[in-house]
Amino acid sequence: MDHKTHTPKPKKKNYAVIRPSPEQPKKSQNTKSSLKDKFDLEIIQKNPWGQFLLFVENCYSQYIPPSTEEEKKRGNILQTAVETFNEYHRESWRHILNRIPPSSNKLIDDFYYHLSNREKLTPREVYQESQAAIQGLINNAEYGFIDTDNRDIIRITQLCDAINYFQKHRSKTYLVLSQLEAYVPEDAKKFFAASQVFQGIIASGSHEILTDFGMALMKHFKVTRTAIKDETAKNLVSGLGEIERQLKTQISILEAEKLELTGELEQLREQGHQEIVTQIAQELQNGSQPALDQIQKIISLIQPQIEASGEAQISSDDALAIFIVLRNLMTIFQKLGIETYPKSLKDSFTISQVDLAKYAYVGGTPFTNYTEIKRVQCIQKGWKVNDNIITPAKVQELTDNSTNN
């Protein structure tokens, strides 16, 4: 395939072909039967390759298959070129051409020359690119050739990339189309076999009508890059609207749940409060000497005296009874975790500034830093429930004078 010394090519014969316009398909002037004559239209339209062939027949129905012996021979030669290329693509272009009969060499040499991008690509590279394009068509046809409301943008972009391989390149278009029937699913092969327009295109070789085939295909199925960008933008706007709607719905649901949970929380608080009060009452009343009864007894004893004379006249027996009741109350409080601290008012101990959350420092020199230690003595016990401070114990600093005293 040496085009450096390539002799001028003879002027090509004008074929009886009118370039089709996919946007404005012209009425067919041949007598070939249509795919729709052999299959139910609904069945064809549900199949992506049926849709593909409908495009071929609608847009290329005026294409006249080869009628002369010369045209048929030309188509057969190029089909042989494709078969030979696929079988020996690991060899060089020259070795592949040597396998072609000399009578066909000139036509095939020109075909290979254009496939190789003017000898820039090796047969292996062309084979890999063409096979990738074919697989791109096969894998993504159902996403681009079937019209749906919500198309997969990634898939139709891959379909666009596959078609772009042969777009504006009739030799590459023929290379792909001539092999397509062998790769489509079994249920689509019958459509290809029945389409006389498609078979006529293949029989004619890399005819000039194939130059615009790729772009016409992309425009018809709206898989051009511009169409994909527009569809992506439309889907984005639609998607944002759907997200907004879902978020508003979710907010409404959350607000309703919040109200419900707030009500449940109030009920739990009330229930918890009642349970705590009930527990305290049970602890006070369930002992051998019910504390609530004793408290009521003391009130009944003292209240009339206060009302009569303004002061209570407590006998030693009554005082003892009151002491016992108060001691029982403290015992019950301790069972509930309510207790005083520290244990003794006589013992001294040390604290730092960190301990001021637990002790109220009411007398002495101020702390100068967090590490300073002071010896103190409790002057009033504090109250706590387990480790929770209710009232801090009051302490004051012990000085040398107070220690000596």
Exposure on the CB side of residue 172, measured as CA atoms within 13 A: 27
Q: What residue type is assigned to position 41 of the chain? A: L
More confident residue, 295 or 51: 51
- How far apart CA 159 and CA 133 sit, in angstroms, is 9
pLDDT for res 128: 96
Give residue 13's pLDDT.
38
Look up residue 139 and give its two tokens.
């894998």
What integer pLDDT is reported at residue 25 of this predicted model? 40
Domain ranges in the chain are 35-223, 340-400
Nearest to 29 by CA among 18, 14, 40: 18
Rounded Cα gap, residues 196 and 217, in angstroms: 18
d(CA 72, CA 15): 13
pLDDT in tens, 157-177: 999 999 999 988 999 999 999
Return the minimum-mean-pLDDT range out of 5-9, 73-77, 378-382: 5-9
- Report the length, in residues, of the chain: 405
**Three-state DSSP state, 336:** coil
Q: How many CA atoms lie within 13 A of 339 on its CB side?
A: 11
Beta bridge partners of residue 224, listed in sequence order:
none
pTM over cut 0.95: no
Among 186-195, 300-309, 357-366, 393-402, the range scoring the smallest mean pLDDT is: 300-309
pLDDT at 16: 37
- State the Cα–Cα distance between residues 109 and 202, nearest whole angstrom: 19
Question: What's the DSSP call for residue 346?
Answer: S
Question: 144: helix, coil or strand?
Answer: helix
Query: What confidence tens digit (pLDDT) does each residue in 311-327 have?
Result: 777 777 777 777 777 77
Instruction: Give the alpha-carbon dihedral of 263, 267, 273, 275, to 10 degrees.
Output: -160
Residue 65, pLDDT score: 61
Q: Average per-residue pLDDT in the chain? A: 83
Q: What is the pLDDT of residue 1?
A: 61
- Indicate the burial class of 39 (C-beta count within 10 angstroms; 0-12, 13-18, 19 or more): middle
Cross-sheet strand order for the sheet of 373-380: 348-352, 373-380, 393-397, 359-363
pLDDT for residue 274 is more than 50:
yes
Instruction: Give pLDDT tens digits for 14-25.
Output: 433 334 444 444
Q: In whole angstroms, give the CA distance from residue 365 to residue 370.
A: 14
Question: What is the pLDDT averaged over residues 138-161?
Answer: 91
Residue 369's nearest CA partner among 353, 348, 382 is: 353
Could you give the CA distance from residue 197 to residue 50 in angstroms, rounded to a whole number? 13
Check the CA dihedral 364-370-372-378 and report its sign: positive
CA 318 to chain centre: 79
Cα(321)–Cα(325) distance, integer angstroms: 6
Residue burial 260-274, b: 16+ Cβ < 10 Å; e: rest? eeeeeeeeeeeeeee
Closest CA to 147 of 232, 59, 52: 52
- Residue 381, both tokens: 């016990």
Q: Which of 195, 203, 196, 170 is nearest to 66 (CA)?
A: 203
Q: Is there a contact between 353 and 345 (Cβ–Cβ < 8 Å)? A: no
What tens digit of pLDDT does each residue of 203-255 get?
A: 888 888 899 999 999 999 999 999 899 888 877 776 666 677 787 778 888 88
End-to-end Cα distance, the chain: 121
Rounded average pLDDT over 362-377: 92
Q: Dihedrals φ, ψ of 382, to 5°?
A: -100, 170
Q: Which helix (H) or strand (E) holds 109?
A: helix 102-115
Give yes or no for residue 386 having a pLDDT over 70: yes
What tokens appear for 216 in the block?
Answer: 């016409």
Closest CA relative to residue 155, chosen from 232, 234, 100: 232
